[in-house]
């Protein structure tokens, strides 16, 4: 299939115009490879391991959630040079769907709701709120990741969930308005912790967003490349 036809299909899954302004220039086909697409791989991040795995699979296209090119580039050296060399040597196309996929039907947050078994859901600006039947150990098991809590959340309860870096006071207030009794996300900052009206549950960024890319891969018949960062829990 021609890359243009594949891009049209991807834009139907996650329309680019649903992305946040901060994603301007950072979604869609960000690295161009060969024009004919026969094999598609999918991952959360473009890492050297993911690129090597995609090349070994014979993939022509890598669909990811996070762009490897966050800021304008004036120098290509070190890690970035090595990463780009692997991508270009493999003639691999790289397509990014980020906040547009967070908001899409069946995207990152809808996938989280399914994994956690949320019911009676309300959609938030960049997340979802619903009745969670799991306790803390159940959530950790479903996400295959550790949890850190503040404010003594009592689960099962009505839970606000935002994939990725979702600890934002405006989103927490949206969850309150949806009846949430606790809030789950990643990358918590001290100021949000002190000001939150809800008990907070923090897990890893990867644990909250990888399920959406994995489920997308399963639905589309693509190959998902799992490359989680190492997590160490000190006791």
pLDDT in tens, 106-128: 999 999 999 999 999 999 999 99
| Domain membership flag for residue 31 | yes
Last residue of some domain: 47, 80, 98?
98
In percent, the amount of the chain with pLDDT more than 70 equals 98
pLDDT at 231: 59
Judgement on whether residues 76 and 13 belong to the same structural domain of the protein: yes
42: domain CATH number is 3.40.1390.30
- Average pLDDT value over all residues in the chain: 95
Residue 110 carries which DSSP code? H
Domain-embedded: residue 157 = yes
Domain hosting residue 89, numbered range: 3-98
**What digits encode the pLDDT tens for the residues 172-188?**
999 999 999 999 999 99
pLDDT at residue 229 in the model = 87
Looking at the domain assignment, is residue 191 inside a domain?
A: yes
The count of domains in the chain is 2
Query: Are 123 and 81 within one domain?
Result: no
Please indicate, yes or no, if residue 49 is contained in any of the structural domains.
yes
Residue 29 backbone dihedrals phi, psi, to 5 degrees: -80, 100
Residues 179 and 112 in one domain: yes
Distance CA 137, CA 145 (A): 10
pLDDT at 220 over 80: yes
- Strand spans (E) along the chain: 28-31, 40-43, 61-64, 93-96, 119-123, 128-132, 148-150, 157-161, 182-186, 200-203, 223-224
């Amino acid at each position: 299939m021609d890359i243009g036809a594949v891009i049209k299909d991807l834009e139907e899954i996650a329309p680019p115009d649903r992305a946040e302004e901060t994603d301007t220039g950072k979604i869609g086909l960000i690295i161009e490879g060969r024009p004919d697409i026969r094999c598609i791989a999918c991952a959360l991040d473009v890492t050297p391991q993911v690129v090597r795995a995609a090349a070994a699979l014979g993939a022509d296209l890598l669909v990811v959630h996070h762009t490897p090119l966050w800021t304008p580039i004036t120098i290509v050296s070190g890690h970035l040079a090595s990463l780009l060399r692997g991508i270009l040597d493999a003639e691999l196309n790289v397509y990014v769907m980020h906040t547009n996929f967070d908001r899409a039907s069946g995207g990152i947050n809808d996938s989280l709701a399914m994994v956690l078994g949320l019911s009676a859901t309300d959609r938030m600006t960049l997340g979802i709120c619903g009745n969670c039947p799991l306790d803390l150990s159940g959530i950790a098991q479903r996400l295959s990741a550790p949890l850190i809590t503040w404010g003594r959340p009592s689960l099962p309860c009505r839970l606000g969930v935002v994939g990725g870096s979702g600890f934002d006071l405006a989103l927490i207030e949206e969850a309150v308005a949806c009846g949430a009794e606790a809030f789950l996300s990643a990358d918590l900052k001290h100021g949000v912790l002190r000001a939150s009206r809800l008990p907070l549950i923090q897990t890893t960024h990867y644990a909250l967003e990888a399920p959406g890319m994995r489920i997308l891969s399963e639905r589309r018949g693509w190959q998902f490349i799992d490359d989680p960062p190492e997590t160490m829990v000190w006791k």
